[in-house]
Amino acid sequence: MAQRSEFTAPNAYTYDQRSVPRWVFSHIRRYWYFALSFYFFFLIAWSCYAGTQVLIGRAVDEIISPSGPSGLMVITLIILSVMVGDGLSGLLGSLSAENVAARFEADARQEFYENLLSKSKGFHDRQRAGDIMARATDDTSQLSHMIAPGITLVSETVMGIVIPLIYIAFIRLELLLVPLCFVAAYIVTAKTYVRRLNPVVHDQREQFGAMNAGLEETISGIEVVKASAREGFEREKFRRNARLFRDFFVRQGYIEARYLPLLLYGIALGLSFLHAMWLYRQGSIQIGQVIAVVGLVNVLRFPTFISIFAFSLIQSGIASANRILKIVRAETDLDENSGGHAAQMRGEIVFEHVGFSYQESGVGSRESGANVSASQPGPLPGPTPDSQPPTPVLADISFRIAAGQTVAIVGQTGSGKSALTQLVNRTYDVGDGRVLIDGVDVRTWSLDSLRSQIGKIEQDIFLFSRSIADNIAFGAPDASREQVIVAAQAAQAHDFISTFPDGYDTVVGERGMTLSGGQRQRIALARAFLSDPRILILDDSTSAIDSATEDQIQQAIRKAQEGRTVLLITHRISQIRWADLILVLEGGRITAAGTHEELLVSSPHYRRIFARYDADLPPLEPAAAEDAALRAA
């Protein structure tokens, strides 16, 4: 299926994303010459290393031969050059592999990053930032560990077993008996070992996390703990966790202590020796060859013992690749509709019997982020018990907003306020009914034309780690400093910006100066003034601490309302009070709609807000409610 993409990097290398093995392979193939050189050099290295044992055996024969050690010097020099050759080719092979590993990590990250940029805004709204972060950093570095030391060690295991066995076979084929039995027994016992160890390691890791999280919670809530005199309870909670952890720790110790392959190896060494001496006694091999066999069996030690570690690295690498590809291959569900309706927007918004519910949330966004040390994908942490069809977030919503009006949406958390605004700029598409802008269904509009004329100021305003001027001019990089200042003045931001030593060049955001919620909001408003959208969605939940700030925010929002349609989610009663239309949402339905005066007489809910102020309220007229709702539709 063709990807719908909002961004394509120029001259990007394309990888095969159809499946995890294909994807990993296509990344490695990009540097096939390095991969090849790794195998080439490591074959040499292992042949040298194992060959040394044979040469040492030769040397023995040379030493004890009655004809004198005339060849000893030659053999010594051969041993030296073979061992140096082992070191050098090992070095070259390692560098090749490390190069591929490092590039795989960087390339995969770049591919992932490009893909993130190509995804729609709606897609990103549904992802948790921490989750994406984990994939872009931990998982990509896990990929590089999968190459080196993961795949390299597995390759070494194979070479490190096969090559000594070949040498042994050349000495005497029947000498393979014991080593082959050992390798077979090793595979069986190592598998059993891993099968027993893995769950305990997993439990232990989980328990450590639980212990940490529990204590962290106690300490974060220490005021409550102390004020409720519940230290004893919290102490017991921690002790329970710590004791459980100790049990897992000890059990892991038991299992690790009983690592059978090590015992098998000791026995195999004895038996190989027995076999070789037996053949020596029969006169079919030399004493030097006995020594060579012992040396070669010794070589088997390293590859067999490293393989468990290597396989677990590959396992977690595959799990990481899966997590990355899952995001990469996720379909963005909104259509660009680039050939759609494109026009200068006036700003009339009509909802006709709109119903909406969130679909399956994103791509595995529930899945716990990449675990660096995770050795296997494992099952997802307990599925939430609710697998019933999602409850509708919005149901049968109908209203009409004339161009240029300001509409305040009032309701408790979870009543559907945000969802309602998200349907306007097509962050999501409606389930039922339709949303019309200037009489045209939003799905008929070209997405680009639609979004470019709808501005949105989110509840959490994000500022890039750049200067204030760059942040204000983010959508209009060509704006002059004068234009930036004019926008800032309109947003009531100029005054506080001027108090900073670096003024508009002050760097803000995560790696810069921290601004208060009210300040960030005014910068976002300035940004909106520069880009001048026809419809502005303002999720205004910042609270003013003092009256002076409140005055400024009020003025800035007033200014923003001039000449455009504004959808306002706000907690400011003064904003609600003066909106052209107020929609009261309860549980996804509009229960009242109208102006302040109308709602005071029609909506008991709305009245309660003002009752707190001891205001003189007109008498409640329940009939008026239906009137108002009808007119809104």
Partner 1 sequence: MGFLFDGLDAEEYDRSYSDGDLVRRILGYFRPQARKMGLAAAMIACAALLDAGIPIFIARSIDTLRADTTISRIALTALALAALGATSWVFNMVRQTLAAQAVGDVVLKMREDACDSVLRRDMSFYDQYASGKIVSRVTSDTAAFSQVMNLSMELISRLLLVFALVGYLATVSLKLTGILLALAPLIVGAALAFRAIARRTITASRRMNAEVSGHIQETVSGIGVAKTFRQEPAIYAEFVRVNGQSLRVNRRTRYVFSSIFPILNILAGIGTAALVYVGGMDVRDGAITAGTWFLFIQGLQSIWFPLTSIASFWSQFQIGLAAGERVFGLIDAEPRVIQTDDVKLPALRGEIRFENMDFSYKAGSRDLGVGSRGDGLSQGSENPSTFEGTLLQPLTPDSRLLTPEWVLKDFSLHIRAGETLALVGHTGSGKSSIAKLVARFYEFQGGRISIDGVDIRRLNLESYRSRLGMVTQTPFLFDGSVRENIRYGRPDAGDAEVLAAARHVGGDEWIAALPRGLDTQVGERGSGLSMGQRQLVALARVLLQDPAIIILDEATASVDPLTEVLIQEGLDTVLAGRTAIVIAHRLSTVRHANRIIVLRKGAIIEEGSHGGLLAADGHYAELYNTYFRHQSLEYIEQARKAA
The region of 164-172, 247-255, 317-325, 393-401 touching partner 1 under the rule CB under 8 A is: 247-255
Residue 597 touches partner 1, criterion: CB under 8 A: no
Site for partner 1 in 395-424 (CB under 8 A): 410-414
Residue 90 touches partner 1, criterion: CB under 8 A: yes
The region of 194-202, 346-354, 498-506, 543-551 touching partner 1 under the rule CB under 8 A is: 543-551
Report the nearest approach of partner 1 to the CB of residue 540 (Å).
Answer: 9
Taking the least distance from each CB to partner 1, the nearer of 230 and 326 is 230
Out of 39, 193, 500, 610, which residue is the one contacting partner 1 (CB under 8 A)?
A: 610
Residue 323 touches partner 1, criterion: CB under 8 A: no
Out of 13, 21, 32, 84, which residue is the one contacting partner 1 (CB under 8 A)?
A: 84
Q: 393, 357 in Cβ contact below 8 A?
A: yes
Report the nearest approach of partner 1 to the CB of residue 98 (Å).
Answer: 4
Site for partner 1 in 260-279 (CB under 8 A): 262-263, 265-267, 269-271, 273-274, 277-278
Name residues whose C-beta falls within 8 Å of residue 112's C-beta, 6 or more positions apart in sequence: 135, 136, 140, 324, 327, 328
Residue 438 touches partner 1, criterion: CB under 8 A: no
The whole-angstrom separation of Cα 160 and Cα 153 is 10
For the record, the structure tokens of 271 come out as 């038996």
Site for partner 1 in 127-156 (CB under 8 A): 129, 132-133, 136-137, 141, 144, 148
Out of 287, 372, 403, 486, which residue is the one contacting partner 1 (CB under 8 A)?
A: 287
Report the nearest approach of partner 1 to the CB of residue 57 (Å).
Answer: 9
The whole-angstrom separation of Cα 572 and Cα 29 is 59
Report the nearest approach of partner 1 to the CB of residue 238 (Å).
Answer: 5
DSSP 207-222: HHHHHHHHHHHHHHTH
Number of residues forming the site for partner 1 (CB under 8 A): 171
Out of 389, 613, 619, 623, which residue is the one contacting partner 1 (CB under 8 A)?
A: 613
3-state secondary structure 370-410: CCCCCCCCCCCCCCCCCCCCCCCCEEEEEEEECCCCEEEEE
Site for partner 1 in 169-208 (CB under 8 A): 208
Exposure letters 299-318 (e unless 16+ CB within 10 A, then b): bbeebbbbbbebbbbbbbbb
Exposure letters 429-454 (e unless 16+ CB within 10 A, then b): bbbebbbbbbebebbebbbebbbebb
The region of 184-192, 324-332, 393-401, 459-467 touching partner 1 under the rule CB under 8 A is: 459-467
Out of 18, 191, 258, 353, which residue is the one contacting partner 1 (CB under 8 A)?
A: 258
Exposure letters 520-558 (e unless 16+ CB within 10 A, then b): bbbbbbbbbbbbebbbbbbbbebebeeeebeebbbebbe
Residue 64 touches partner 1, criterion: CB under 8 A: yes
Taking the least distance from each CB to partner 1, the nearer of 168 and 350 is 168
Out of 226, 353, 481, 631, which residue is the one contacting partner 1 (CB under 8 A)?
A: 226
Alpha-carbon distance values, 198 to 209, 211, 308, 596 (Å): 17, 20, 11, 64
Q: 494, 522 in Cβ contact below 8 A?
A: no
Taking the least distance from each CB to partner 1, the nearer of 105 and 348 is 105
Residue 432 touches partner 1, criterion: CB under 8 A: no
Report the nearest approach of partner 1 to the CB of residue 623 (Å).
Answer: 23
Beta bridge partners of 535: 454, 565
Report the nearest approach of partner 1 to the CB of residue 352 (Å).
Answer: 26
Out of 116, 180, 308, 633, which residue is the one contacting partner 1 (CB under 8 A)?
A: 116
Residue 253 touches partner 1, criterion: CB under 8 A: yes
For the record, the structure tokens of 587 come out as 């549980």
Site string for partner 1, 548-577 (x = CB under 8 A): x-xx--xx--xx-----------x-xxxxx
Report the side by side order of strands in the sheet with 406-411.
454-457, 535-540, 565-570, 406-411, 581-586, 589-594
Name residues whose C-beta falls within 8 Å of residue 552's C-beta, 6 or more positions apart in sequence: 492, 495, 518, 522
Beta bridge partners of 537: 456, 567
The whole-angstrom separation of Cα 219 and Cα 228 is 14
For the record, the structure tokens of 68 come out as 């004198």
Out of 516, 563, 617, 622, which residue is the one contacting partner 1 (CB under 8 A)?
A: 516
Residue 618 touches partner 1, criterion: CB under 8 A: no
